[in-house]
Amino acid sequence: MWGSGAMDTIIGAVADSGAHRLRRMLKCLPSLLSFSRPLCAFLVCTLAPSFWATAAAPPSATLPATVTAALSRAGVPREAFAALVVPADEGSSPRLNWQGDRPMNAASVMKLATTFAALDLLGPAYTWSTPVFAQGPVRDGTLQGNLYLRGSGDPSLVMERLWLLLRRVQAHGIDAIAGDIVVDGTAFAGAARDPAAFDGEPLRAYNAAPDALLVNFKSLVLDLVPDAAAGLARIQVAPPMAGLAVQASVPLAPAGTRCGDWRAQMRLSLADPTRLAFQGQYPAACGERSWALAPPQPELFGPRAVAGMWLALGGRLGGSARLGKVPDGLAPLFVHSSAPLAEAVQNINKFSNNVMAQQVFLTLGLEAGGVGSLDTARAALQTWWARRMGAAAMPVFDNGAGLSRETRISASSLARMLQRAWASPVMPELMASLPIVGVDGTLRRSQSRAVGSAHLKTGSLQDVLAIAGYVHGDDGQRWVLVALVNHDHAAAARPALDALIDWTRLASQR
């Protein structure tokens, strides 16, 4: 009869491989031995080898053939690629480790670090508070002074929530404001930046800068509706903006004009920063379209949006909309609470929202250092990483969104973080925030065959392509997968990442 030491050795080896079915079989061997030694020998010698091959397989030092072929077709050398595939449970050896320790730019995959840290440090139910202050008495429905809003970084103050906030002001008997609407954004220090600094595209919504009072992601949405009979396309803007005029319509292009790059055909003019005007035409073939853009003078977006919504609600404003600071000693009229952090995290990761990620990043600095700045946020993330990730190499976090050329992290560090997240109490919230292959978010159109079987965050810049997250193997094993591409042809390497997802799904069967 086998001794207990031999049994423990076998079970330990199988446990490391993740072959749970064989482990359960081996645990029943003592009772089988007392019944039939030949039967036991048959089970071990006949059924175990297929599982034992998985247990004994060392980490692969070469890339799967399908991945190598896809990289070759994309014109991306293997040296520009890093990948790591390891069981989600800590303590297991990687199934694949290709340049896992090489620091690389991970683009928006860096949002995983920001959102996991926020869930871990603040909790999924954390909310942001926006206190509203009324300076002066209210007489006959008119506030005899200024209305103040002090932001604390709420990433989800979209126009619907701003509408509710201002309706609450009216519920306090205020229909008119004799003074100004003043927005206090001092909770975030030094958050303003040149929107053209990253890629020379200052009007792109993804380049909107964070703000302590961030309204509607600091972006306008222009809805264009063509009217063939009138020969024009009508333009509606949301949210309404005080002090920013938007042209009401644009002429239609000649019949038969193809849609193509319709934004360029409209020829937006920014000669006057207080007016959005168009010098071109809109092709009727485009049908109804929406255009999200970050307008000029982004520092005034919050005051203009608050005042614009106030006027749209029928409120009256005697003064102007401006930036300022809440006077000391003024008690709030009420405090508006945001949606919970878990909801913000889902929007950040599912749809790779850059400005929301930066809001959360700066909030970590605000909570840790008393003010939300890049320096306090980076320090908070570095302290958290050192405490939670042990010896894993420290990333370069930069702005928390991955919209950066300076961000760096290795595949092995990302994998370690995802393993820690898998064992964390906030794993369900983080997992639920990741796009599902072939189902939703940024992976809705993925060509991988692992439809519904992988939750992965994507990232892309002009010369960066990345994915990281979890893949559910066909045998029930959960894998952590990280893949990073840094090369001029990175955008062409998507089939290589799809091939790696498919390989991972079947990895435990090899």
pLDDT tens per residue, the chain (510 residues)? 334 334 333 333 333 333 444 444 444 444 434 444 444 444 434 444 333 333 434 555 689 999 999 999 999 999 999 999 999 999 989 999 999 999 999 999 999 999 999 999 999 999 999 999 999 999 999 999 999 999 999 999 999 999 999 999 999 999 999 999 999 999 999 756 777 778 878 888 888 999 999 999 999 999 999 999 999 999 999 999 999 999 999 999 999 999 999 999 999 998 898 999 999 999 999 999 999 999 989 999 999 999 999 999 999 999 999 999 999 999 999 999 999 999 999 999 999 999 999 999 999 999 999 999 999 999 999 999 999 999 999 999 999 999 999 999 999 999 999 999 999 999 999 999 999 999 999 999 999 999 999 999 999 999 999 999 999 999 899 999 999 999 999 999 999 999 999 999 997 555
**pLDDT at 137 (0 to 100):** 97
Question: What was the pLDDT predicted at 195?
Answer: 78
- In contact, 458 and 438? CB cutoff 8 Å: no
Distances, alpha carbon 249 to alpha carbons 118, 125, 240, in Å: 43, 43, 16
Beta-sheet pairing, 147-150 with 176-177: unpaired
Q: Which of 284, 292, 268 is nearest to 234 (CA)?
A: 284
Examine residue 239 and say whether the peptide bond preceding it is cis (omega within 30 degrees of 0): yes
Q: Using the structure block, give the residue that is written with the tokens 């871990």.
A: 120
Cβ atoms of 123 and 341 within 8 Å: the answer is yes
Domains of the chain: 65-125+340-506 (3.40.710.10), 129-194+300-337 (3.50.80.20), 220-293 (no CATH)
Identify the pLDDT of residue 22: 40
Q: Are 426 and 417 in contact (CB under 8 A)?
A: no
Q: Which of 384, 367, 459 is CA-nearest to residue 114?
A: 384
| Cα radius of gyration rounded to whole Å, the chain | 28
CA distances from 142 to 135, 239, 303, 429 (A): 11, 24, 20, 45
pTM, full prediction:
0.86
Q: Are 292 and 221 in contact (CB under 8 A)?
A: yes
